[in-house]
Structure 1
């Protein structure tokens, strides 16, 4: 029997819901968004960061209410200065700092842990503008001290879980991995033509050079804001627009822009794997349904 199940025993984020059999795409999307939001809101708790310090720093830059205001804040921020402000809030050493004490371990580290701090800084700005995007309601009673996401629905087969008694970095990996899956599929189930939306996003992003660039991000966001009328078609039918869906479509599009520039408001799996080379990052596997197979 088909099912979609998300369970969380995370502190202040208790949730357990399992949908079995035939059900509406809307119900599935709502469950996926619940799982996504919980993992998104809680992942930073397991990163090696002084969260309060970063929150205060972000607030000093402003409290944006729109993506345009976020773009304005970022355009005025100097990457080198911001990195210097963020680094004291990182609780583990970078490869450069580690080189004298443990050169072998330093060579294995392929990402700078300050990227965790950048992610939380941008998350604070995003949360200020879109507080509902990380909102969730606690529900159900999980049986185990874990976070689990399992699916066997319409050709999409997947199991991801994390033991809450494990090391923080392992819990972080589990939350980031579940977030990556639910973030993508939640919008797919929310709309009628997800393939067309995905093609639109890919076409838009293809007009920008693909490289990690903080300086490029404000320009990318400014161009993204000009696409709002085009995005409406993915939430409108027979000249009637679903405002709630339109907001989800916009947010999904904007998040793709942050991720494309290399500075998303969430912790990416590549960053975790680069900072913690001892962790095994899940490779794409399983069937996601349709012609495409993704992680």
Structure 2
């Protein structure tokens, strides 16, 4: 960066540009436009307070642009504090929970792999995407799934970009049925063959696209229950406990508008024709 020369545009993380401002290197008293890409992330806990401090250095007459796939409460509060009569353009109709059957199951940490194996056995799944919260868990879980005899790829932010591109391409082409990944995979990417609070919506919010059936199953510990309630409240959705008993026919409309019937949890492979196989997203 030519930090000691005049520039027309600066692209930086909030922490870096704030550091330059406080050191007197970057002078923003005449900067009248600020653009926040992935605003929901930039206004999260990792950057808490930084943008407020940054904006306090800008002139009073300014324009702020927010780009985000979701608008959680943190973004709304920011808009009320710093924006006057903001104009909203919504281009994200495809990011929706419509058409997605959402469940949760309380399991102990050590039971999650066994639960996965049970789901793979009980459900006929074209492809699944399994999300983890750390790169270490991504690799470990992918290894265990492979040891169980299922084809499995994994992808996370610490992998080389060329490797990630190859995994992404092969999975999209259907060369592998299961993918374990971190949230890197959810931002602006859609896999048509997989009907998959801000992170939750990014993870499963594309399940209803193209008429594919979608199931999202959250495998959580008991301590995670408050996070689950928060997600339900912010997204205005209901996440039901996965049934442990047979429930009479549940009808789901398929791509060709015909009706197929199946029973929850005690699903049998024969209940779901091959061409209408369920698509699964698991959040671990």
- The structure having more radius of gyration, on CA atoms, is 2
Higher relative contact order (CA closer than 8 Å, sequence separation 6+): 1
TM tier, smaller? under 0.3
| TM-score when normalising by structure 2 | 0.24
Q: Which has the higher strand share?
A: 2
| TM-score when normalising by structure 1 | 0.23
Q: Which has the higher helix share?
A: 1
